[in-house]
Amino acid sequence: MCDPGRASICGRAIFQVEFALTRGKTSRGRTAVIVGAQWGDEGKGKIVDVLTQTFSVVARYAGGHNAGHTVIINGKKFILQLVPGGILRPECTSVIGNGVVIDPLAFLKEVASLRAAGVKVHGNLFISNRAQVILPYHRMMELDRKTLRPRENWNYFTWHRPSLRRQMGRRGLRVADLLDIQLLRTHIENACREKNMIAHALFNSDPLDADKMFREYADAALQIAPFVRDTALLLNRALAEGKSIVFEGAQGTMLDIDHGTYPFVTSSSATSGGAAIGTGVPPTSIDTVIGITKAYCTRVGSGPFPSELLGLQGGRKEKICVSAATNSAPSPGVRAALAGSICLYSVTLA
């Protein structure tokens, strides 16, 4: 029995013994983070699709349905916004991590389109019970704020910014809460009461119907329930079993909330460090970071952008080389810089 004053020393000694006994007896799976090294739209989805041929799990760790990947397999085009690229490989498990903001209706719509295309979804796709949920009042507040402050930075205008504001204020709704019907009703009623008062006073907006919203999202919750898991546990168990994981980023490094061109950024951790934050896998389990760049730069929205191409030439590059999976880019739209007529990729290992 350890003396209480020496508990920390004893604890370290026990850990060292256990580590020595288990070292070499377990084989942790490989991991790689795919991250955009620019402002997004670098072609990360294509690289993820290549890697899923040899990796067992693909985990999305940031963004929302404001980000998307376009993947073509056997001549068939798939546009993925919330669902990771691994879903297109039946032998691969796809995970939407806690760092992703979920619009339940957008998720169900995307799942329905995948099923219609013959993609196996059941048993291959899981959502974190800790992910934040987007609700209609987030859309209302964002639209009203854009009307009030039209010159503010509106880089990715798909409602996840208000959801993350509520998360940081400890007032957000998580996927686990979405499945608690009584809690969902209380949350929606309280939020609609507050948002309707604010929207009417500041923007003279029409009020939201809390009862209608509850019925719609209670029904969505029943459909989403089979996908919900403790994905942090799922991913760490997969690693312990020797399975390999690709962590799929969204947007790009220069749009990271902390390390990007602030304030002209997105609202989540878009760097490689976001993989640990957005999935619950410890940073010590990250083996490789693959940064994706292309021969020219593009970005959505306003903000500093060196060597920007303006006029007819810039507009032509945007139309030829930028494939927007979300179709929701706000004014001033996609901007191009550094001349290049073909899409080349360079891979940086860290």
Residues with active-site annotation: 41, 69
What does the block give as tokens for 320?
Answer: 């030829």
Write the burial class of residue 146 (CB in 10 Å: 0-12 exposed, 13-18 middle, 19+ buried).
middle
Task: List the one residue out of 99, 97, 75 whose CA is nearest residue 86.
Answer: 97
**Residue 192: count of CB within 10 angstroms of its CB:** 23
Q: What is the DSSP string of 111-128?
A: HHHHHHTT---TTTEEEE
Q: Please give the structure tokens belonging to residue 226.
A: 């089979």
Chain position carrying tokens 């288990």: 22
Cα separation, 135 vs 97, in Å, equals 18
State the pairing for strand pair 76-80/69-73.
antiparallel
Q: Evaluate the CA torsion angle 164, 284, 255, 224 in order and state its sign.
A: negative
User: Which helix or strand (DSSP H or E) is residue 299 part of?
Assistant: strand 297-300
Residue type at 222 in one-letter notation: L
Residue 183: both structure tokens together: 């809690």
Task: Compute CA distances 317 → 114, 240, 272, whole Å.
Answer: 31, 46, 28
Say if residues 269 and 256 touch (Cβ distance below 8 Å): yes
Instruction: Name which of 106, 151, 110, 115 is nearest 133 in CA terms.
Output: 106
Residue 97 to residue 117: CA distance in whole angstroms? 24
Closest to 205 (Cα-Cα) out of 134, 145, 135? 145
Q: How far apart are CA 160 and CA 158, in angstroms?
A: 6
3-state secondary structure of 183: helix
